[in-house]
Amino acid sequence: MKRTGAKNDASFRVVAADARSPRDGKNLETLGWYKPTCKDKMFDLNMERIEYWVSVGAQVSDTVASLMRKTRKAAAAAASAVPVVATADAN
């Protein structure tokens, strides 16, 4: 995670980076963002690209793993929600 934002108002970019590069140094790819200072702790992740990087050997941080669990849980809840379909009577 690469720190961005102002003093006392941190936000982070979720990035794929070489382990030898500094925290805010060059990254291979930006994979999402996270704003922990908001009331709802807003975030957005590109799960397809994160799964790709994990498949080629990348290690995710504890925070990113937690955000991934929340994303999967929200996607499962959205998929299991039964849509209400209004039907018209044929009278």
Distances (CA, A) of 71 to 19, 30, 38: 25, 17, 17
CATH 3.30.1320.10 for domain 2-71:
yes
- Which structure tokens are listed for 31? 């994979």
87 pLDDT above the threshold of 70: no
Model pTM?
A: 0.75
pLDDT at residue 41, as a whole number: 80
Q: Are 31 and 16 in contact (CB under 8 A)?
A: yes
What's the rounded Cα separation, in Å, for the pair 72 and 79? 10
Q: pLDDT by residue (tens digit) across 42-85?
A: 989 999 999 999 999 999 999 999 999 988 888 888 877 666 66
Q: How many CB atoms lie within 10 A of CB 14?
A: 25
pLDDT at residue 82, as a whole number: 62
Backbone CA torsion sign across 39, 5, 17, 24 = negative
pLDDT at residue 12, as a whole number: 93
Q: pLDDT by residue (tens digit) across 9-23?
A: 999 999 999 888 888
Domain residue limits, the chain: 2-71
